[in-house]
Amino acid sequence: MKRRLFIKQTGILAGAAMVAPSLMSAKKKETKLVILHTNDTHSNIDPFPKNHAKFPDMGGVSRRAALIKSIREQEDNVLLLDAGDIFQGTPYFNKFKGVLEMKTMSEMQYDVVTLGNHDFDIGIDGYVKAKEHGTFKVVNANYDLSKTAMHSHVEPHVVIKKGGLKIGIFGVGIDLDGLVAKENTSGLIYNDPVASANQQVALLKQKGCDYIICLSHLGFEYPTDKMSDKILAQKTEGIDLIIGGHTHTFLDAPVVLKNTKGEDVLINQVGYGGLHLGRIDIQFSTDLNKTTIGECVPLTSKWDLA
């Protein structure tokens, strides 16, 4: 007994001795966060048909699952996100009412998704029923769902801890008027995405988040002044990254815009149908040499395209 206690104590001591020098020499400590994302997957379980006019034999959840698995084997801190419209587009949805979309996304271990307009296509009750098969979190901050069956299934934001980082993730959705049959959104109240976003950022900052991601189904941009990711990025503050959807926009690389404070906001979107998997690697560093109080180190954007 004595001997074991002794070993334990020296173990602690040794541990402390190891921490101390590392603290002393830690001029730079790096943590890498890998953000994987999809949007508008639209019930595309199988790859597109081999005779598809534009995207023959592309996509498919089995390939996506394998790719995500291989990334998880290489990386410690992986976040898997989706920007909405997981429903509608193939007969899998018509026949199984969203159950298979939920099951496959859970199998891939999606962390957080937001709501797209088509996610209301079988009504609020339909979504909630399918969601029984989904293990991921659903975020939206600008739909008041308190009077609907969704209220206990959708949160304005979530905070996820990865590798010592606190990642705040909130969602914003498009105005559903004219996009979804009224009876399918009964009780839902739409609020301004900009006001909702600023509110969420403030809350997430209060909670000590190191990085703030907005999952948006507003759409990348419009020829009119209709609310979009581009407008949201420029009219808010504190959002680091917008993962967008709805407009099925294929971006070659994230677009970088300035927010109201002149800080960079990244926007990314990867088309639709699970044709592409988006990946953004963020390197966080506690660089004791460079970082002084109140100074901001600019984000360098080196986009490595594949």
Strand partners, 79: 35
Nearest to 276 by CA among 301, 256, 302, 248: 248
Question: Under rule CB under 8 A, which residues in 136-155 are in contact with another protein?
Answer: none
Applying CB under 8 A, the span of 4-12, 84-92, 141-149, 196-204 interacting with another protein comes to: 84-92
Number of residues in contact with another protein, rule: CB under 8 A?
A: 91
Residue number with CB closer to another protein (48 or 143): 48
Q: Give 267's contacts (C-beta < 8 A, 6+ positions apart).
A: 220, 229, 230, 233, 241, 242, 244, 251, 254, 255, 256, 257
* 17 lies in the binding site for another protein (CB under 8 A): no
User: What would the DSSP string read from start to end of 212-253?
Assistant: EEEEE-S-S--SSS---HHHHHHH-SS--EEE--SS--B-SS
Residue number with CB closer to another protein (108 or 169): 108
Nearest to 84 by CA among 120, 40, 50: 40
Q: Which amino acid is at 226?
A: K
* 60 lies in the binding site for another protein (CB under 8 A): yes
Residue number with CB closer to another protein (30 or 132): 30
Q: Closest separation between CB of residue 2 and another protein, Å?
A: 29
* 165 lies in the binding site for another protein (CB under 8 A): yes
Question: Under rule CB under 8 A, which residues in 257-286 are in contact with another protein?
Answer: 266, 268, 270, 274-286
**Among positions 40, 85, 111, 240, the unique one binding another protein when judged by CB under 8 A:** 240
Contact by Cβ (8 Å): 168, 238: no
Q: Closest separation between CB of residue 293 and another protein, Å?
A: 5
**Among positions 66, 80, 142, 167, the unique one binding another protein when judged by CB under 8 A:** 66
